[in-house]
Amino acid sequence: MTDRPRDSLAALETARLDWQRDDGDLETPHSLAFGDVYFSRQDGRAETEHVFVEGNDLPRRFREWCEPRPFVIGETGFGTGLNVLCAWACFTRHASPDARLHLVSTEKYPLARADLARALAAWPELAEAAARLVDQWPEPVAGVHRLWLDERVTLDLHFGDSAECLAALDGRVDAWFLDGFAPSKNPQMWQPALFEAMSRKSRDGATFATFTCAGVVKRGLKAAGFAWRKVPGFGRKREMLAGEIATAADEDARRTTPWFTPPAPRPARHVAVIGAGLAGASVAHALARRGLRVTLLDREAPGAGASGNAQGALYIKLAVAPNAHSRVYLAGLLHSRRWLETLDPEGALWQQSGVLQLANDSREAERQARFLAQHALPGSVVEGIDATTLAERSGLPPQAFSAARALDYPGAGWVRPQALCQRLAASPGVAFQRGEVMRLTPAGEGWRLTLADGTDLVADQVVIATAQLANRFDQTAELPLQAIRGQVSQVSLPEGMPVPRRVICAGGYVPPPQEGVLTFGASFAPHDEGDEMREADHTTNLAELARTLPGFVEALRTAGAELDPARMDGRAAVRAASPDKLPYAGPVPDAAAWRHDYAALTKDAKRIPDTPGTHHPGLWISAAHGSRGLASAPLCAELIASRICDEPLPLPIDLADQLHPGRRLIRDLIRLTPR
């Protein structure tokens, strides 16, 4: 990686390999950068099982595991994924059917997908598991990438420097695979910062195992609070190290932001989710997948509100200047694509058509050029294209466009939001109930939900996901939300017309047509909660389409398409946004307690109390997804489900904190500080 600002969006350098064959004709990948092999030429799988699986006593621990949370393994150096596949196989053999496994692995130089598949082909007995891994293999982009290996096993790949990734990990580990190229080959990894990060992220009783007995490793582990011992090594290696945490280092990630300290885990056998749009339905699905019983409530039906359009664009617009917003939304886009591929591999609910973001004027063209210069993302994520390539990829002739340049997001596309919500609401473990929740009241260790018809429902925990109505409850009343009306327009296409193959975005968006109908829009009306159809909005949408695709609109008119706004069809709905345009995803803060506990910030923003933030116990929110909900709601659902189930998060700490619902409360307190 080149040196770039902290919030830059960057591709990682993929591993450079050559391939060596042993006497049995087994291909072994060899790192050209580090001059070392990825696994033993004798028997890589046997080495992994001896060093890491047996070294951490995993067969016994898996057999005895009965916690509601998953068993968590942390690994330094994912490499070919062999360690992960062996741990997964051991878990499948020994763990009870109700147990879950969560793997967290760091990698600074990820293999290319083809190299990964080639390396794992050495073990035909792992072929099915390897295929699940290869199929979901993420782009080489720095950050956290969540993969679902099966219904009980989750893998979080943290791409980047191991010490930095573990320092940013929001989660705790039960067993460590301290792997990576040998300390003599890769001294940059085996540093005190790595061992300190491992110590901070270890649960009580966490173990570790490593193939090496190098002095730098023994000294680093001891200094970080681990007790180590030498045990028999594998093959020609006479000894290796194993041990456990003795004195964990203090977690210091939130010393400057104590208000974001997460609430302690609580029982969560039954969770009520209020709102069955994309935000709520994706939370319900995420929780049910973890074995929880979920009641999903909505005053109408799944996908009846702003998530009820027949088509929606899965896309993002990234900023030129490095910032946390872009990191969140890029992570969300990549997450949503893997999530949809796993949920709907047949493509009934979505299409990875790609998205073209047009540069319709010189200002946008200059902005896109600066973006490409600032962020080194792979072309498989986003690339700049010229007019010729734009026409080729869009499926429209060059004269359809006013733009001469565009950004192409090949992995983005479009989704059927209403159908997606209906699929999620029908997930095993989710019970949909029609009803409008009017009031939330603490009830013992849980919550009482009072419905408009006077009936009550009791749940252990509650997730609020009701868009612009999410702050109607006493507990959320101080969360600022802005209602935004949006209307899409539709036109039936004459036969034989060239149509867009990709989603095309500029001031609005137009996806590929569905069943002969072209959808385009959407209008943008802040502080407007009307959901009736308006001719004026059709006029606005048509004018924006003409600015985006002037030649295409002219061809529509020539072919006799109905473009009279008074006769057009469409749909209107109301979205919600936060003041900083990021979603709210996390525990609901107790606003009165925060104002009291952090009152010192109003006098001096540097006087930070060490008091952890007080939250309404077992109350969560996923809201303010605006017009980018397809790229944010599934990731936020995983974040909330991970918090509820005491798992590592699918985002680094700083980005999870950026989404915390209490961020505005702190900002408002600091704004009162005298200047």
**3-state SS track over 537-558:** HHHHHHHHHHHHCHHHHHHHHH
- Report how far apart, in Å, the C-alpha atoms of 473 and of each of 289, 318, 512, 582, 661 are: 28, 33, 40, 21, 14
Burial class (CB in 10 A: 0-12, 13-18, 19+), 674: exposed
At 120, which helix (H) or strand (E)?
helix 113-120
For residues 385 and 429, membership in a common domain is answered with no
CA 638 – CA 645 distance, rounded (Å)? 10
CATH number at residue 423: 3.50.50.60
Res 666 pLDDT > 60: yes
98-125: pLDDT as tens digits? 999 999 999 999 999 999 999 999 899 9
Q: Which residues pair with 443 in a beta bridge?
A: 446
Query: Omega before 522 cis (within 30°)?
Result: yes
Q: What does the pLDDT read at residue 23?
A: 58
Res 668 pLDDT > 80: yes
Percent of the chain whose pLDDT exceeds 90: 87
- Report how far apart, in Å, the C-alpha atoms of 575 and of each of 171, 231, 310, 490 are: 32, 60, 16, 19
| Number of structural domains found in the chain | 3
* Both structure tokens of 12: 């990682």
* Both structure tokens of 66: 């009965």
For residues 596 and 663, membership in a common domain is answered with yes
Q: Which residues pair with 19 in a beta bridge?
A: 29
Q: What does the pLDDT read at residue 322?
A: 84
646-656: pLDDT as tens digits? 999 999 999 99
As a whole number of angstroms, the longest Cα–Cα distance in the chain is 83
For residues 299 and 440, membership in a common domain is answered with yes
CA 35 – CA 52 distance, rounded (Å)? 22
For residues 566 and 584, membership in a common domain is answered with no
Burial class (CB in 10 A: 0-12, 13-18, 19+), 576: buried
pTM greater than the 0.85 cutoff: yes
CA 417 – CA 423 distance, rounded (Å)? 10
CA 368 – CA 384 distance, rounded (Å)? 8
In a domain, 234, yes or no: yes
Q: Residue 629 CB: number of other CB atoms within 10 A?
A: 29
Are the beta carbons of 158 and 138 closer than 8 angstroms? no
For residues 148 and 23, membership in a common domain is answered with yes
For residues 69 and 121, membership in a common domain is answered with yes
For residues 241 and 371, membership in a common domain is answered with no
Q: What does the pLDDT read at residue 372?
A: 94
Mean pLDDT of 234-243: 91
Average pLDDT, the chain: 94
CA 547 to chain centroid, in Å, comes to: 34
Q: Which of 555, 577, 599 is the last residue of a domain?
A: 577
Whole-angstrom Cα Rg for the chain: 26
176-187: pLDDT as tens digits? 999 988 888 888
For 151-292, strand residue ranges (E) read: 153-159, 173-178, 202-210, 226-232, 239-245, 270-274
* Both structure tokens of 107: 């990698």
Q: Residue 557 CB: number of other CB atoms within 10 A?
A: 10
For residues 586 and 571, membership in a common domain is answered with no
CA 471 – CA 449 distance, rounded (Å)? 15
For residues 449 and 542, membership in a common domain is answered with no
Are the beta carbons of 235 and 47 closer than 8 angstroms? yes
Which residues constitute the domain of residue 509? 355-407+482-577
Given CA atoms 92, 93, 95, 97 in this order, what sign does their dihedral have?
positive
In a domain, 350, yes or no: no
For residues 557 and 629, membership in a common domain is answered with no
Res 2 pLDDT > 50: no
- Confidence band, pLDDT 50/70/90 cuts, at residue 24: low
Q: What does the pLDDT read at residue 22?
A: 64
Q: What does the pLDDT read at residue 1?
A: 39
Res 383 pLDDT > 80: yes
Question: Which range among 34-43, 48-57, 292-301, 576-585 shows the weakest confidence by mean pLDDT?
Answer: 34-43
Q: Which distant-in-sequence residues (6+ apart) come within 8 Å of 375 by Cβ? A: 4, 8, 9, 10, 318, 322
39-93: pLDDT as tens digits? 776 688 999 999 999 999 999 999 999 999 999 999 999 999 999 999 999 999 9
In a domain, 342, yes or no: no
Closest by CA position to 425, among listed 304, 602, 323: 304
434-477: pLDDT as tens digits? 999 999 999 999 999 999 999 999 999 999 999 999 999 999 99
486-517: pLDDT as tens digits? 999 999 999 989 999 999 999 999 999 999 99
Res 406 pLDDT > 80: yes
DSSP letter, residue 264: P
* Both structure tokens of 513: 């047509």
In a domain, 43, yes or no: yes
Q: How big is the CA angle at 622 (ends 143 and 68), to the nearest 5 degrees?
A: 75
Q: What does the pLDDT read at residue 581?
A: 95
Q: Which distant-in-sequence residues (6+ apart) come within 8 Å of 554 by Cβ? A: none
CA 421 – CA 404 distance, rounded (Å)? 37
Q: Residue 554 CB: number of other CB atoms within 10 A?
A: 13
Q: Which of 546, 577, 608 is the last residue of a domain?
A: 577
In a domain, 329, yes or no: no
Percent of the chain whose pLDDT exceeds 70: 98
Given CA atoms 493, 498, 503, 505 in this order, what sign does their dihedral have?
negative
In a domain, 335, yes or no: no
In a domain, 664, yes or no: yes
Q: Which of 542, 577, 612 is the last residue of a domain?
A: 577
For residues 447 and 591, membership in a common domain is answered with yes
For residues 468 and 518, membership in a common domain is answered with no
CA 87 – CA 173 distance, rounded (Å)? 14
For 246-292, strand residue ranges (E) read: 270-274
Instruction: Specify the residue for token string 């596949």.
Output: 85
CA 140 – CA 302 distance, rounded (Å)? 35
**Which amino acid, 297?**
L
- Report how far apart, in Å, the C-alpha atoms of 67 and of each of 72, 151, 172, 262 are: 11, 17, 14, 20
Q: What does the pLDDT read at residue 285?
A: 98
Q: Which distant-in-sequence residues (6+ apart) come within 8 Å of 520 by Cβ? A: 488, 489, 490, 491, 508, 509, 510, 541, 544, 545
CATH number at residue 68: 3.40.50.150
In a domain, 334, yes or no: no
Q: What does the pLDDT read at residue 137?
A: 98
Q: Which residues pair with 209 in a beta bridge?
A: 177, 242
**Which amino acid, 628?**
R
135-157: pLDDT as tens digits? 999 999 999 999 999 999 999 99
Q: What does the pLDDT read at residue 41?
A: 64
- Report how far apart, in Å, the C-alpha atoms of 29 and of each of 119, 132, 481, 521 are: 6, 20, 53, 50
